[in-house]
Amino acid sequence: MAECRGLGHSVQRKEDARFIRGQGRYIDDVKLPGMLYLDIARSPYAHAKITKIHEDTAMAVDGVAAVITGKTLEGFKLAWMPTLMSDQQMVLPVDTVKYQAQEVAAIVATSRYAAADGAAALEVDYDPLPVVVDPHEALKPGATKVRDDKESNHIFHWEHGDADGTDAALAGCDTVVEQKMHLPRIHVASIETCGCVASWNPVEGHLTLYLTTQAPHAIRTVVALVTAHLGLAEHKIRVISPDIGGGFGGKVPVYPGYVLATAASVVTGKPVKWIEDRSENLQADSFARDYHITATLGSKKGKVAALKLDTVADHGYSDAAANPSKFPAGLYHIATGSYDLENAHVSVDGVYTNKPPGGIAYRCSFRVTEAVHAIERMVDLLARENGEDPADFRLRNFIKPEQFPYTSALGWEYDSGNYGAALEKAMDMIGYQDLRAEQAEKRARGELMGIGISSFTEIVGAGPSKTFDILGIKMFDSAEIRIHPTGKAIARFGTKSQGQGHETTYAQIIAEELGIPPEDIQVEEGDTDTAPYGLGTYASRSTPTAGAAASIASRKIREKGRKIAAHLLEADEADLVWEQGRFYVKGSPDRAKTIQDIAFAAYTNHPQGLEAGLEAISYYDPPNLTFPFGSYICCVDIDRGTGQVRIRRFVAVDDCGVRINPMIVDGQIHGGLTMGIAPALLEEISYDADGNITGGNFMEYLVPTAMETPHWELGETVTPSPHHPIGAKGVGESATVGAPPAVVNAVVDALWHLGVRHMEIPMTPARVWNVLNEHGVAATR
Amino acid sequence: MSSHQISVTINGEEHTREVEARLLLVHFIREELGLTGTHIGCDTTSCGACTVLLNGVPAKSCTVFAVAADGAEVTTVEGLGNGGLHPVQQGFTEKHGLQCGFCTPGMMLTSKALLEENPDPSEAEIRWGISGNLCRCTGYVNIVRAVQRASELMKENSDG
C-alpha cells in the first residue's frame, strides 16, 4: 500500500501553491464590470447630535454617484441592525453618533479615489454631547446616558455558580488573595482589513456578496432575515468568502460597511466595493477584551478552595459581542481552569460607553483568555502567599488524570487532561531549577530576571446543540464528500479557513479514513451555493466540529464501499476487513478491492438495490466541547534603564489531543504565542476623557515584529479527546489564551522581592520603568 | 488633478500609462496592471504587505507615488521565479513560512533583497531584515527558517 499520509504527517500545504505566487484571491482582488466604490465619512466626536448633513458637498465631487445617510436607510427600515446579543447597532445614525469614528454617511463613486474625496468633502454639522468612557463612571447614578432607547448604561448582569457557598468557603480559607486587573481593549488587526463587494441583480432579484467573513452561511441567513421586508430571500443570496487574510474573530460580525455596500448596490444597480483602511479597521471594528476584573482566590491548608470573579465589561455603545446566544459573557466560567476546587462564582455586568461596539474574540473561544488570565495570575499570587513555588503549588492543586471526565465547580465536564505531565515537561525543557538558581545569583547582583508559568485549560469546539446556538441556529458543522469515478474526491465544508490550512488538514482526515491521498482530494469552503450549511470558523471549532464531520462522512462512504466491495468480490459483507484504502476478504488478503476500485464500480457496476454514486454528508453535533491545555514557562530580563521587558526564553508545551498535521499545529502555536505576548507587552486601544481614540493606527497600535517575538520552543503531550472521532481537540487559539499570564507572572516574579504583586498590561517600557522608579531600582545616569 | 505619462518596467515588462499625480504605486500595480499579488495592509508604511522591489530595493508601495517610479524597475511577487519557483518561494513552502498568505508576497520580496545583500544571514540578521514586515499568523519562527532554507537553496544553485 502506498502511504496515504493521513494523521500525524507534516504534509506540505495545498493552499500554498497559489499564495506564494501571489495568486490568492482576497476581497480587494475581486473586480466586477461596472463596479462602484464606497467610502465612509466618520464622526470626529465620541458623542454628538447630527444637526445637518450637507450631502451636496460630497455630490459636488467629480465621480460621486450617491450619498447614503441614516435618513436614506430609515426609509428602508435599515438604519439599525440587530446584534447577535439581542441588542441593536446603527448602520448609519439618524440623529446621534455614539463613538469617535462611527459611520456617518456612505459615499458611492466611480473610483476608489473619488469615493475618498467625497467622504473628505462631506460637511456635517454636529452639536457635541457629554461623553462617558469609563464603565465604572457609566454605572453611577446621573451618569451620561449612552443610549436613548435604554433606561441606563447597565446592559446585563450575568452570574454563574454558587455565590453563598463561595463566600462561605472563602471565609473558611486560611489564605485569601484579592486582585483587581484590567484586560484592556485590543484589536485582532489581521493584516487584511475587512471589506466586501455587493452585486445586486435586479432582474433576477439575486444578491451576490463577496465578503471577508469567517461564517458565510450564518451571514447569509442574517442577511435574509434583516432584508426579508425588502423582498430578499435566502435562496437568492449567495455569500462567497474568498481567501481571507487573517480573521482571529474580527471577521465574524456584520459590520455597517457590508450593509452599506449592499444597500448601495441595490440603489445603483451596480456592483459596489467597500474596503476599509487600517484606521477604520482599528477604530470602528469590533474590539476584544475590556474586562475589569476583581478576583478573589482562597486556599485552606495549601489546597485551592474557592474562586470569585466580579467583572465589569465595557461593551461600547452596543452589545455587539459574538457569543453563542445563551452566553452573554461567553465561556468565562471556564475560570476555575486547571485546578481542582469546589466553590466558584463568577459575575459580569455589561456596560454601555461612548466607544465602538463589541466585543469579539481575539483569537480565543469566547472570553476564555479573560478567565485564564484571572485564574493564572491568582494562582501565582496564592502560591506565594502560601510560601510555595508557583510550579509546586500548581502541581499539587491540578485536577489529577484519574479525575477525568471532571465536572468543574462551574458545571463544565472536562473531557480529558494530564496537566502535571505538561508542566513537568515544560519545566524539564526550560531547566526550571537552573533558572531559579540563576535568578537568585542575578538578584544578588541587582539584575532583574523573572520566571512565569501559565498552566491553562481551554474550552473549544462549540458546540453541543443542546447548549450552543447563534440566533437560534445550532452550532453543528458540516462536511460533504463526493468520490468521483476515478477515485479522486471533492469535499466541502461549512467552515472557512483564514490561514489555518483547512485545505490540507481536512484532506488528511479523509485520507486517514478512506485511504485516498490528500493530493487527490479537493477541499472547498466559503461559497454558500455549494458548501453545506455550517456555522463557520472561530473559537477553535473547525477540527472539533467540521473535522469530526469529515471523519463521520468518510465512514459513511466506507460503509457503502463495503457493500460495493462485497458485490465485486462476491463475498459476504461481514467477511470483509477494512485496512486503510481497501477491503479484503478475511483470511485472503490478496482478494481485495481498493477504494479507487470501489469508486469506479459505484458509477459503472453498482449492485442492484443500491443507489449509484459514492458520496456522503455529515452535520456533526459534538457531544461535548473539547478541553485543550498546556503549560507555558516564560523567562524575562528587565532593563533597569529603559523598563524594557525582553523575553529571553519561552517554552510552550501544548496538548491538543491527536495532531493531524504537526507542522500546521506548530505553526498555529507559534502564531498564537505571538498574539499572546502582544497584549501582554505592546497592544492597547485606549481613549481619553473626550472619547478620542489612541492606538487607532499601526504607528500607535504596536503589533509584534520579528524583533519583539522570541524564538518559540515547543513541546507536546498527547491526551486524546475521548469523544472526538479521531481524538483531536482545537489548537488555533490555545497559545493566545495561555501566554499572557505567563509573561505577567514572569515580570511580577522579577520584581517580587521589591514588593511588586501585580502588573497591568500591556507592560510597556514606560509602565515598567515607572514601577522600577517607584521602587527605587530604575537605573539612572 | 494633474496627470502624467509614466513608464515603469514591472517584472521585466515596460508599461506606459497616463496617471494622476496622486496615484499610489500600489494602486498602479494592482488596479492599472491587474497584478493583485501585491497587497495593502495599512496605508501608513507600517505593515509591509505592499512591499515591492524598486530598482532592487524593498519599498512599501502604498507610500510611493506611481509618478515617482517613472523609469524604475519594479519586481512584484508575480516576477519571482520566472516560471519555476524562486528559492525564497521554495523556502516559504517547505518551512511553513506562511499561513493566510496576505503578508507573504511582501515578506518574500524583502527576504529576497536581504539574501542578495547578505547570502548567509544569522537569525538575528534575518529578524532585523524582516522587521519592517508584519505577520499576524506565523509568529515569525517559520519565516526565519524559510529564509534560512532559501539561503541554502541559493547557495546550492550558485555552487551547481
Q: Any idea where the domains of chain A sit in the sequence?
A: 31-129+194-275, 375-459+624-774, 477-620
Superfamily in which the A31-129+194-275 domain is placed by CATH: Aldehyde oxidase/xanthine dehydrogenase, a/b hammerhead (3.90.1170.50)
In chain A, % of residues over pLDDT 70? 100
Residue A628: the pLDDT is 98
Interface check for A671 against chain B (CB to CB < 8 A): the answer is: yes
Size of chain B in residues:
160
| Residues of A recognised as catalytic | 214, 363-364, 733
- B73 with B18, same domain? yes
Residue A554 corresponds to which cell in the numbers above? 468518510
Q: Give A17-60 pLDDT, tens digit per residue.
A: 999 999 999 999 999 999 999 999 999 999 999 999 999 999 99
DSSP A682-724: T---EE-TT--EES-STTTS----TTTS---EEEE-----SSS
A249 dihedral zone (left: phi>0; alpha: psi -120 to 50; beta): left
Distance from CA of B114 to the nearest CA of A (A): 15
User: Residues A730-742: what's their mean pLDDT?
Assistant: 97
> Residue B158: what pLDDT?
85
Mean pLDDT of A67-88: 95
In chain B, which residue's Cα lies nearest the Cα of A281? B42
Q: Is the pLDDT of residue A672 over 90?
A: yes
- What integer pLDDT is reported at residue B1 of this predicted model? 75
Question: Do B44 and B72 belong together in one domain?
Answer: yes
Question: Do A404 and A420 meet the contact criterion of CB atoms below 8 Å apart?
Answer: no
Per-residue confidence (pLDDT) for residue B159, from 0 to 100: 77
DSSP tag of B60: E
Classify strands A629-638 and A448-457 as parallel, antiparallel or unpaired.
Answer: antiparallel
Q: Is A389 exposed, middle or buried (0-12, 13-18, 19+ CB in 10 A)?
A: middle
Put simply, the chain A residues between 15 and 44 with a CB less than 8 A from any chain B CB are 15-26, 28-29
pLDDT at A2: 56
Identify the CATH assignment for A477-620 out of 3.30.365.10, 3.10.20.30, 3.40.605.10, 3.40.50.720.
3.30.365.10
| pLDDT under 50: residue ranges of chain B | none
Task: Identify whether residues B91 and B113 lie together within a single domain.
Answer: yes
At A756, phi and psi to the nearest 5?
-75, 130
Those residues with Cβ within 8 angstroms of residue A194's Cβ, 6 or more apart along the chain or in another chain: A27, A212, A250, A251, A255, A257, A258, A276, A281, A285
| Share above pLDDT 90 across residues of chain A, in percent, rounded to a whole number | 97
At A781 the pLDDT is 66
Are the C-beta atoms of A593 and A583 separated by less than 8 Å? yes
Number of structural domains found in chain B: 2
Residue A360 is classified by DSSP as: B
Whether A191 and B141 lie within 8 Å, measured CB to CB: no
Q: Which chain B residues contact residue A703 at CB under 8 A?
A: 47, 134, 136
Which DSSP string corresponds to A651-678?
Answer: EEEEE-BS-S-HHHHHHHHHHHHHHHHH
Which contacts qualify for A203-208: CB closer than 8 Å, 24 or more apart?
A204/A236, A205/A231, A205/A232, A205/A233, A205/A236, A206/A236, A206/A237, A206/A238, A207/A232, A207/A236, A207/A237, A207/A238, A207/A262, A207/A265, A207/A266, A208/A238, A208/A240
CA distance A731 to A734: 5
Q: Name which of B23, B80, B139 is nearest A670 (Cβ-Cβ).
A: B139
Q: Is there a single domain that holds both residue B111 and residue B58?
A: no
A614-669: pLDDT as tens digits: 999 999 999 999 999 999 999 999 999 999 999 999 999 999 999 999 999 999 99
Instruction: Round to whole Å and give the CA distance between A677 and A683.
Output: 9
User: Residues A299-314, buried b or exposed e (16+ Cβ, 10 A)?
Assistant: beebbbbbbbbbbbbb
Whole-number Å distance between alpha carbons of A380 and A376: 6
| Strands A343-351 and A206-211, bridge-based pairing | unpaired
List the Cα angle A712/A718/A723 in 5-degree steps: 130
Residue with cell 515588462: B13
**A538 min Cα distance to partner chain B (Å):** 14
Rounded to whole angstroms, how far apart are CA atoms A586 and A13? 37
Task: Tell me if A246 and B127 make a contact (CB, 8 A cut-off).
Answer: no
Residue of A nearest to B106 (CA): A22
Which residues of A fall within a CB distance of 8 Å from B35?
Answer: 22
Residues B127, A189: C-beta atoms closer than 8 Å: no
Which residue type is seen at B131?
A: S
Q: Chain B within 8 Å of A707 (Cβ-Cβ)?
A: yes
Closest CA to A336 of A365, A298, A300: A298
Report CB contact under 8 Å: A12, B142.
no
Which residues sit opposite A349 in a β-bridge?
A: A157, A312
Q: Which domain holds residue B37?
A: 3-79
Q: Please list, in sequence order, all residues whose beta carbon lies within 8 angstroms of the beta carbon of residue B129, skipping any fewer than 6 positions away.
A: B110, B111, B114, B118, B121, B147
On whether both B64 and B9 belong to a single domain, the answer is yes
Contact between chains at B46 and A22 (C-beta distance less than 8 A): no
3-class state of residue A310 by DSSP: strand
Contact A671 B136 (CB under 8 A): yes
Closest residue, chain B, to A712 (C-alpha): B141
The answer, yes or no, to whether residue A780 has pLDDT greater than 90, is no
pLDDT score for B160: 59
Q: Which residue in chain B has the smallest CA separation from A22?
A: B37
Which residues fall within 8 angstroms of residue B28, CB to CB, at 6 or more apart?
B8, B17, B19, B66, B69
Q: Which helix (H) or strand (E) holds A645?
A: strand A645-655
Residue at a domain's end among B24, B45, B79: B79
**Checking DSSP bridges between strand A343-351 and strand A576-579, what pairing results, if any?**
unpaired
Same domain for B91 and B125?
A: yes
Residues B52 and B22 grouped into a single domain: yes
Give the model confidence (pLDDT) of A301-320 as tens digits. 999 999 999 999 999 999 99
The contacts of residue A760 (CB under 8 Å, 6+ apart) are A181, A182, A767
pLDDT at residue B117, rounded to an integer: 97
A15–B101 CB contact, under 8 Å: yes
User: Burial of A71 by CB count in 10 Å (0-12 exposed, 13-18 middle, 19+ buried)?
Assistant: middle
Give Dmax (Cα) for chain B.
53
- Residue A387's pLDDT band, with cuts at 50, 70 and 90, is very high
Interface test with A, best of B29, B32, B42 (most A CBs within 10 A): B42
CATH of A375-459+624-774 given 3.50.50.60, 3.40.50.1100, 3.30.365.10, 3.30.360.10: 3.30.365.10
CA diameter of chain A: 91
Judged by CB atoms closer than 8 Å, whether chains meet at B37 and A112 is answered as no
Are A699 and B46 within 8 A, CB to CB? yes
Query: For residue B26, what is the domain's CATH number?
Result: 3.10.20.30
Beta bridge partners of B18: B5
Helix, strand, coil % over all residues of chain A, rounded to 5: 30, 25, 40
Give, rounded to a whole angstrom, the gap between the first and last alpha carbons of chain B.
Answer: 53
Are B100 and A16 inside 8 Å of each other by CB?
no
Chain B residue numbers with beta carbons less than 8 Å from the beta carbon of A712 are 139, 141
Gap between the Cα atoms of B11 and B75, Å rounded:
5
- Do residues B7 and B75 share a domain? yes
- Identify the CATH number of the domain in which residue B113 sits: 1.10.150.120
Average pLDDT of chain A to the nearest whole number: 97
Rounded CA separation A599/A615 (Å)? 10
Q: Which of residues 289-308 of A touch B (CB under 8 A)?
A: none
A711 contact B CB<8A = yes
How far is it, in rounded angstroms, from Cα A7 to Cα A659?
7
Find the angle CA(A714)-CA(A716)-CA(A722) to the nearest 5 degrees: 150
Rounded mean pLDDT, A750-779 = 97
Q: Which residues contact A741 (CB under 8 A, 6 or more apart)?
A: A372, A373, A376, A377, A380, A452, A454, A456
What is the distance between the alpha carbons of residues A322 and A257, in angstroms, rounded to a whole number? 17
In this structure, the answer to whether residues B75 and B124 fall within a common structural domain is no
**Domain identity same for B116 and B75:** no
A500 contacts B96? CB cut-off 8 A:
no
N-terminal to C-terminal alpha carbon distance within chain A: 72
Residue numbers of A between 501 and 540 with CB closer than 8 Å to B: 501
Q: Across the interface, which of B39, B42, B139 has its CB nearest the CB of A278?
A: B42
Q: Do domains A375-459+624-774 and A477-620 have the same CATH topology?
A: yes
Between A26, A667, A703, which is nearest B102 by CB? A26
Contact A631, A454 (CB under 8 A): yes
Q: How many CB pairs under 8 A join A and B?
A: 177
Which of A22, A28, A698 lies closest to B42 in CB terms?
Answer: A698
Chain A residue numbers with beta carbons less than 8 Å from the beta carbon of B80 are 21
B71 and B93 share one domain: no
Q: How confident is the model at residue A327 (pLDDT cuts 50, 70, 90)?
A: very high
